[in-house]
């Protein structure tokens, strides 16, 4: 049997995608809309470390396309804390207007190819990678992925040494984009439908296209990777909600 690689785990992560019930929003009175808007702004401030003063971080993004309208992204210390963040949205008075679209549960992961698990304190640079704040960049891209388990292209039947070699070459491509994109890898084996989630953050969305395209030519992706749906969004700060809702509904 091929040798499994130990991993280090950090924040638990929830990607909570929602659709806005636009017909319901249009049917609401001006007073209802104003109350909903104020409530959503307060909710976002609290989730991202306002009065709740919790460990972890949250951010909200508008999603381009028709797979969802919003992404509520949460980093938390425990699985129960992710549930609390999800329920804060579910129990908000504006919940009937925010319809669940899809979600993804995972945990920030560093593999033994990159970081060696041990018994001593983790170096500060490893701590920062396991327990980061959500990067402040304007754009986000999320996609899930698997490693193939089919025939001659079975990742899990390769030796540890061969997998380490392939991952080292794969990482070299990512390092060429240092300073342009932040990548957070989350493990989801046994937690969700795919094996990993990849979340990219950048101030230029074209970087997502260029990075993913270049990586497709790497053997690790070309032979062994399978990808789910890609979702791209723009950061939505609490003060941005009025402009976004007015733009989305043609009211301003």
pLDDT digits (tens, 9 = 90+) for 34-55: 999 999 999 999 998 754 446 8
Catalytic residues, by residue number, are 143
pLDDT average, residue stretch 91-119: 86
Q: So where are the chain's domains? A: 7-249
CB atoms within 10 A of CB 236: 20
Q: What is the per-residue pLDDT for 249?
A: 61
pLDDT average, residue stretch 118-123: 72
CATH dotted code for 7-249: 3.30.70.1030
Beta bridge partners of 200: 141, 183
Q: What is the per-residue pLDDT for 52?
A: 44
Instruction: Report the distance separating Cα 124 and Cα 143, nearest Å.
Output: 28
3-state secondary structure 85-102: HHHHHHCCCCHHHEEEEE
pLDDT average, residue stretch 188-200: 97
Q: What is the per-residue pLDDT for 119?
A: 61
Q: Is 70 exceeded by the pLDDT of residue 248?
A: no
Nearest to 112 by CA among 35, 179, 167: 167
Q: What is the per-residue pLDDT for 51?
A: 45
Q: What is the per-residue pLDDT for 1?
A: 63
Chain centroid, CA 132 distance in Å: 12
pLDDT average, residue stretch 107-136: 82
Q: Is 60 exceeded by the pLDDT of residue 146?
A: yes
Most confident of 71-85, 103-117, 147-161: 71-85
Is the pTM higher than 0.85? The answer reads yes
């Amino acid at each position: 049997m091929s040798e499994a690689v130990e991993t280090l785990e950090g924040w638990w992560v929830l990607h909570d995608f929602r659709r806005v019930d636009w017909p319901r929003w249009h049917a609401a009175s001006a007073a209802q809309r104003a109350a909903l808007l104020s409530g959503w702004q307060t909710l976002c401030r609290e989730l991202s470390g306002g009065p709740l003063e919790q460990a972890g971080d949250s951010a909200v993004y508008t999603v381009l396309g028709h797979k969802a309208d919003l992404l509520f992204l949460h980093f938390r210390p425990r699985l129960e804390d992710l549930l609390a963040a999800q329920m804060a949205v579910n129990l908000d008075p504006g919940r009937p207007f925010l319809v669940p679209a899809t979600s993804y549960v995972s945990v920030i992961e560093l593999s033994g190819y990159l970081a060696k698990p041990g018994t001593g304190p983790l170096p500060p640079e490893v701590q920062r990678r396991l327990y980061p704040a959500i990067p402040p960049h304007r754009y986000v891209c999320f996609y899930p992925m698997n490693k193939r388990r089919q025939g001659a292209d079975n990742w899990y039947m390769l030796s540890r040494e061969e997998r380490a070699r392939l991952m080292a070459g794969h990482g070299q491509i990512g390092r060429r984009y240092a300073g342009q994109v932040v990548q957070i890898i989350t493990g989801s084996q046994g937690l969700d439908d795919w094996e990993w989630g990849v979340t990219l953050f950048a101030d230029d969305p074209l970087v997502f296209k260029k990075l993913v395209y270049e990586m497709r030519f790497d053997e690790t992706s070309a032979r062994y990777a399978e990808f789910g749906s890609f979702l791209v969004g723009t950061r939505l700060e609490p003060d941005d909600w009025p402009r976004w809702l007015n733009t989305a509904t043609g009211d301003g």
